[in-house]
Amino acid sequence: MTLLAPSKPGQLPSPPRAARSGRHRLLPYLLLLPGAVWLLVFFGVPLLQLAAASLYDPSGSLSTGYAMTWAFGNYPDVVQAYWPQLLRSFGYAGLALVLALLLGYPLAYAIAQKAGRWKNLLLVCVVAPMFTSFLVRTLAWKTILSDNGALVGLLRDVHLLAPDGRLLATPFAVVLGLTYNFLPFLVLPLYASLERLDPRLLEAASDLYASGVQAFRRVTLPLSMPGLVAGTLLFFIPASGDYINAELLGTPNEYMIGNVIDSAFLVRLDYPQGAALSFLLMAAILAVVFGYLRRAGTEEVL
């Protein structure tokens, strides 16, 4: 027989402990339910539709309709046709990531450890460009790198560029645009890790006769790894699928796989090809991410 907890006069008896523990076990799942339904409706269902579209008969069209023929040959066909753009996407994203690390790590460290009362202002400066449209920011770089702009004129005057040299419509412009647009996604996680770094650890390393380079390699870098791993993923994933920077700052010779997918869906209306390319891009990014996490470790990242 289940006994109810004693209660004060005029107070209803409390429910049995087993019933309370059962509700507590269900509470996390109830809290997850709205998000799970949202993901199912707006991510899972479209993903299944995209998977089905990638297997449509490639000889169909939007006007005549597409037939489901389980055309798995769409995948090797698009790889054979667009492997240069796929490799170029990861190459540009990798170069932009290296440049972002060279710029972003010192910036995050300076804000976290050296900024003092200017810390909040510098964080606002890092985030402020994201308040402006991605498209507007990229168009601004198109103006900065234009052939008649002040930057190109200065580089020509100091003979760092040939008289007919240019920055716009080159791989350099695309990589620079990727670096600028996605840099905050790298800096903010790095700042969060470096801000928790105890300065006394660096003092202890100095007391043990460690040089600055040794202290960075043995203390600062390992303790900042969670932010570094998270930041590199947040940077690399959207950068490898981007198409705006290649469209506005490059030429068809610099087009990435995102440009091909955009053209397949919106210009050529070749839905099977666009869907197959989208799935291949997702699969390639997932393979890179899981390989990277396996190498770097996920204890404090996931």
Model confidence pLDDT, tens digit, residues 42-87: 999 999 999 999 999 888 877 777 888 898 999 999 999 999 999 9
106: alpha, beta or left? (left if phi > 0; alpha if psi -120 to 50): alpha
Give the orientation angle of helix 257-266 with respect to helix 74-109, to 10 degrees. Answer: 130
Query: Which domains does the chain show, CATH number per domain?
Result: 75-296 (1.10.3720.10)
pLDDT tens-digit readout, 80-97: 999 999 999 999 999 999
- Name residue, tokens 């209306």: 269
* Across 217-241, average pLDDT: 91
DSSP state of 131: G
Residue 53 identity = A
pTM of the entire structure?
A: 0.84
DSSP lists the bridge partners of residue 65 as: 61
**Within a 10 A sphere around the Cβ of 129, how many other Cβ atoms?**
15
Structure confidence at residue 302 (pLDDT): 46
pLDDT digits (tens, 9 = 90+) for 105-153: 999 999 998 888 899 999 999 999 889 899 999 999 999 999 888 899 8
Reduced to 3 states (helix: H, G, I; strand: E, B; else coil), residue 107 is: helix
Sequence letter at residue 276: A
In degrees, rounded to 5, the angle at the alpha carbon of residue 262 between the alpha carbons of residues 177 and 80 is 100
Q: Encoding tokens for residue 137? A: 């920011």
Name the 3-class secondary structure at 178: helix
Over range 251-260, report the average pLDDT: 93
pLDDT 10s digits, 11-43: 555 556 655 566 677 888 888 899 999 999 999
